[in-house]
Structure 1
């Protein structure tokens, strides 16, 4: 688990985490993450997840880049634009490694439809980037940082960092201290903008954080079931 100091316990982030505590537990306890933890996760399920997550990261990075253009300070803009670059470069490098390991061709990857949940989550973030107030957009982006760090750190603690774990690279990416530091920066930014926001905006921030966290659960659930479009059978 990260040894970095946490933001104040009375800030917006603490309130948002408490509000979604049951959902956070459900994410960690989801069959996908349980199987990921014990190393029994089916490779085809994980491959489906990797393809969907790579596509999600494009929309996530676009929303981060939009947030960077609306930042109040150069420091915040640099952090958000750097996070956008990281989503497109660093994390996608992880995905590319797994795609190569699984022996998936470009044609096979392209042949996997973007799932309804992946499209819905990325569409939600893009909609926030286009129409939501800046603090609300930041709150919608935060779960992707924070939930992944929480899941990765929880799994690392459970596995003890076993060198032979089949998904060790994924676990280390999200349990890494450098990633934890970026999550802390994101939380501090959200707490800061929330502190100067009015009650109406703060309620919208909480709603956005909650919705994005719900999408995080749905994303893992959709990967577990290898979600397909139920309407596909009606099309030629």
Structure 2
């Protein structure tokens, strides 16, 4: 009797679905401008302000993941990550805003723009309304894509010290270690999912990966509310 065919690691399936999006991110002029130092300061400021708004809701999404997590260790890990997301918003973004001649209070007073609003709304709807696997898949691109982009850019970094600091944050081994922990959990959860559950989770992962591209593109375009 033939041995039962084993499904590939879930992370491999997820990455295959979103790899074209990742390649598009690497080719985006925002990322190119970070690495060669030509990114306009206004585009970077747009990104930092919207990222501050985003991370507040991302922290909420991680807290929901903690509530739905299957083990006590996973609960603690996601709760720590939620705290870390808020700390990043308060510390790193505060430093970036100061370097850009502004401050965190000014950033908080600026409007949440269309792409940010759409991304966080989708994210929160998914983590609240879906299974743990769906929630995990939805929050995963913000871990994984930033880790891959940071790792890819770290070798060349940037001649601009401010942009080099951003690259170092996500290329740093400490962040990479956190991401590996989440990827290991994703594969563990994936072993227990039906094909239908894998498809739903993959759809969420692909959607939020696309929002990651849109987030950088919005900063590059200087997106505003049209009316």
Task: Indicate the residue corresponding to 1:169 in structure 2.
Answer: 165
The alpha carbon displacement at 1:130 in A equals 1.4
Superposed CA deviations along residues 187-208 of structure 1, whole A, max 9, x for unmatched, are: 1111111110111111001001
Contact 1:37 1:158 in 2 (8 A): yes
For residues 109 and 20 of structure 2, what CA distance do their matches in structure 1 show? 36
Contact 1:116 1:229 in 2 (8 A): yes
Task: Indicate the residue corresponding to 1:221 in structure 2.
Answer: 217
Contact 1:39 1:166 in 2 (8 A): no
Q: Post-superposition, which runs of at least 4 consecutive aligned residues in structure 1 deviate over 6 A? A: none
Candidates 197, 203, 212, aligned match of 2:199: 203
For residues 155 and 209 of structure 2, what CA distance do their matches in structure 1 show? 22
Task: Indicate the residue corresponding to 1:179 in structure 2.
Answer: 175
Candidates 120, 132, 154, aligned match of 1:122: 120
Superposed CA deviations along residues 111-166 of structure 1, whole A, max 9, x for unmatched, are: 5321100001111111012101110000000000000011111111233x76x633
Gaps of 5+ in 2: 1-6
For residues 107 and 181 of structure 1, what CA distance do their matches in structure 2 show? 32
Cα RMSD (Å):
1.6
Contact 2:127 2:134 in 1 (8 A): no
The alpha carbon displacement at 1:57 in A equals 0.3
Superposed CA deviations along residues 188-233 of structure 1, whole A, max 9, x for unmatched, are: 11111111011111100100100010000000000101111112xx
Contact 2:127 2:138 in 1 (8 A): no
Structure 2 length-normalised TM? 0.92
1:105/1:166 Cα in 2 relative to 1: closer, same or farther (>3 Å)?
Answer: closer
1:67/1:153 Cα in 2 relative to 1: closer, same or farther (>3 Å)?
Answer: same
Task: Indicate the residue corresponding to 1:155 in structure 2.
Answer: 153
Deviates more, 1:213-222 or 1:197-206: 197-206
Structure 2 matches for 1:57-96, cutoff 5 A? 57-96=55-94
For residues 107 and 20 of structure 1, what CA distance do their matches in structure 2 show? 35
For residues 146 and 107 of structure 1, what CA distance do their matches in structure 2 show? 29
Task: Indicate the residue corresponding to 1:31 in structure 2.
Answer: 29
Structure 2 matches for 1:134-145, cutoff 5 A? 134-145=132-143
Gaps of 5+ in 1: 1-8, 232-236
For residues 103 and 194 of structure 2, what CA distance do their matches in structure 1 show? 50
Contact 2:123 2:138 in 1 (8 A): yes
